[in-house]
Amino acid sequence: MDRFEQTFSNAQNAAESTLIQARNLATRARRLQKAAKDGTIANIKKAQGELESALRELSHEVDKAVRSWPLEEEEEERYLKDGYAAELQRAARKRRLTIREQEGKLVSYPSIVEVRPGERAVTIDKKKIRTLRPTRLVEILIRNRDKTRRFRSTTFLRSLHSVYSELVKAQSTAGLYKARQGPVLPLLRIYMLLTSLPGVRRNYTRTDFARDLYELDRSGETTLKSGATVSFSASTGTRSTRGVFSFIGPDGQIAQYYGIRFTRKD
């Protein structure tokens, strides 16, 4: 059952019915105004009766609108924790949008969505929004998919190379710059070093890192000005998911990254 979508729809319908009756009341009030201005007693009495009837109808619709959101706070929070993600995915499928759960988040390329039940909100790429109606949230995700994401591939590639070089130098006297081809290092070690400062890992999650790897891979940019060329490996460590960074592309296919290697030019 699409609980949130139906409940939001019920509240919207109740509000629209209230607006119709409010306009009806205003129409009756204008008729009374005109009758009084014209000085027509019969029309005044008729308009008064119609106005009273319109007020009763409006009061009835207002009462329905006020009660149109029946969920208590505990119900809302429980559903956001346990059922909301599945409903959002169903709404997305109707629009041919792929949303998959990954490490406690929802990924719909290029967006990373985190549901925050206690705040009655979600974050999309760390920006908090309070839009929870599934169909509306899907529209936002579709707009994100269709617009160009600004990704600084050169900057990210340079960061990877810098950390990789430090790790290679630390573990071997040969070093990257004495050997044409560096060793394959687990990307998990790169990520841990990139996020070693306090608080960084909370703001730059594994999923964020996986998306950047995917975007770099997708960009086709592999070589720095120094001539160092990057390559990724997915086969070495895929037996254990701990060291694998996965991201879901726009076609719904999962890209996996485990190891990284830089090769320098001769």
The least confident of 6-15, 159-168, 171-180 is 171-180
**Phi, psi torsion values for 125, nearest 5 degrees:** 55, 45
Q: What is the largest CA-CA distance in the chain?
A: 105
> Tokens 């991201």, residue?
247
Q: Does the pLDDT of residue 169 top 90, yes or no?
A: no
Q: Tell whether the torsion through CA atoms of 185, 189, 191 and 193 is positive or negative.
A: negative
Of residues 146, 99, 30, 105, the one with CA closest to residue 248: 99
Digit-coded pLDDT (tens) for 205-241? 999 999 999 999 999 999 999 899 999 987 554 555 6
Q: What percent of the chain has pLDDT over 90?
A: 77
Prediction pTM value? 0.83
Residue 146 corresponds to which tokens in the numbers above?
Answer: 């269709």
Q: b vs e for 81-102, b when ≥16 Cβ sit within 10 Å of the residue's Cβ?
A: eeebbebbbebbeeeebbbbeb
Instruction: Give the start-to-end residue ranges of the domains of the chain.
Output: 3-66, 73-146, 153-263
Q: Transcribe 221-232 into DSSP letters.
A: --B-TT--EEEE
Residue 107's DSSP bridge partners are 100, 112
3-state helix, strand, coil in the chain (%, to 5): 55, 15, 25
Digit-coded pLDDT (tens) for 80-139? 999 999 999 999 999 999 999 988 899 999 999 999 999 999 999 999 999 999 999 999
